[in-house]
Amino acid sequence: MTSAQRPDSGRTQRLATWAATLEYSDLDAGSVSQLKASVLDAFGCALYGFGLPSTQVVLRAMAGARVSAGGARVWGTPSFYEPMVAAMVNGAAIQAFELDDVHGEAMLHGSSTMLPAVLAIADLRPGLSGRDMLTALGAGWEVGVRINRCMGPHVLARGWHAPTVFGTIAAAAAAARALHLEPERYTHALMLGVLQAGGLLAVQYEGMAKRLYAGCAAKAGVLSTLLAEQGFTAPADALEHPVGGFIATFARGDPVFPDTLDRELGQDLAAATIAFKLHANCAAMHPAIDAFAELCAREPRLRPDTIERIVVELTEHGYKHVGWPYVPNNATTAQFSDALLADRVLLALVDRIEVVHAPHLDTEVLAARHRCCLSVCLKDGTVLHHARETARGRPDDPVAFSVVENKFFSLTEEIMTRPRSHALADRIAVLEGLADVSVLSSELQAGPAPAEDVSSRGSRRVIEGTNPNRAGPGPVANLNLRKR
What are the tens digits of pLDDT across the range 124-143?
999 999 999 999 999 999 99
Task: Give the mean pLDDT of 53-61.
Answer: 95
pLDDT of the residue at 472: 27
User: What phi and psi values does residue 307 have, to the nearest 5 degrees?
Assistant: -90, 125
For residue range 382-393, list pLDDT tens digits in order: 999 999 988 888
- Check pLDDT > 50 for residue 480: no
Question: What letter represents residue 257's amino acid?
Answer: F
Helical pair 10-20 and 183-196, crossing angle rounded to 10 deg: 110
Whole-number Å distance between alpha carbons of 330 and 337: 11
Residue 333: what pLDDT? 52
pLDDT on residue 484: 29
Asked if residues 337 and 346 have their Cβ atoms less than 8 Å apart, the reply is no
Among candidate residues 123, 125, 126, 141, the one with its CA nearest the CA of residue 37: 141
DSSP secondary structure letter of residue 278? S
pLDDT of residue 108: 92
d(CA 440, CA 270): 25
CB atoms within 10 A of CB 420: 16
Which residues are bridge partners to 72 per DSSP?
A: 81
pLDDT at 32: 98
The per-residue pLDDT for 446 is 53
Distance, CA of 113 to CA of 308 (rounded, Å): 42
pLDDT over 90 percentage in the chain: 65
pLDDT score for 349 = 82
First-last CA distance in the chain:
61
Q: What is the pLDDT of residue 28?
A: 97
Task: Name which of 101-115, 278-292, 400-414 the model is least confident about.
Answer: 278-292
Q: How far is CA 49 from CA 46, 92, 396, 405, 406, in A?
A: 5, 8, 28, 17, 17
- Which residues, including other chains, have CB under 8 Å from residue 24's CB and lie 6 or more apart? 131, 132, 134, 135, 432
Beta strands 80-81 and 102-103, pairing class: unpaired
Query: Residues 319-334: what's their mean pLDDT?
Result: 65
Question: Which of 234-238, 391-395, 409-413 has the lowest average pLDDT?
Answer: 391-395
Residue 402: is its pLDDT beyond 60? yes
Distance CA 217, CA 88 (A): 8
What average pLDDT does this structure show over 148-176? 92
Residues 333, 347: contact at Cβ < 8 Å? no
Position 332 scores a pLDDT of 54
pLDDT of residue 443 exceeding 80, the answer is yes
What DSSP state is assigned to residue 472? S
Handedness of CA 130, 48, 38, 179 (dihedral sign): positive
Q: Spell 378-411 as b/e; 16+ CB within 10 A means b.
A: beeeeebebebbbbbbbbeebbebebbbbbbbbb
- Considering the entire predicted model, what is its pTM? 0.83
The predicted model gives 207-231 an average pLDDT of 96
For residues 80-102, give the mean pLDDT.
96
Q: Would you say residue 475 has pLDDT above 60?
A: no
Q: What is the mean pLDDT of residues 304-326?
A: 85
Asked if residues 146 and 270 have their Cβ atoms less than 8 Å apart, the reply is yes
Nearest to 167 by CA among 245, 276, 96, 88: 88
User: Which domains does the chain possess?
Assistant: 3-275 (1.10.4100.10), 283-388 (3.30.1330.120)
On average, the pLDDT of the chain sits at 86
Residue 478 has pLDDT above 80, yes or no: no
Which range has the worst mean pLDDT, 222-226, 233-237, 257-261, 363-367?
363-367
| Higher-confidence position of 206 and 326 | 206
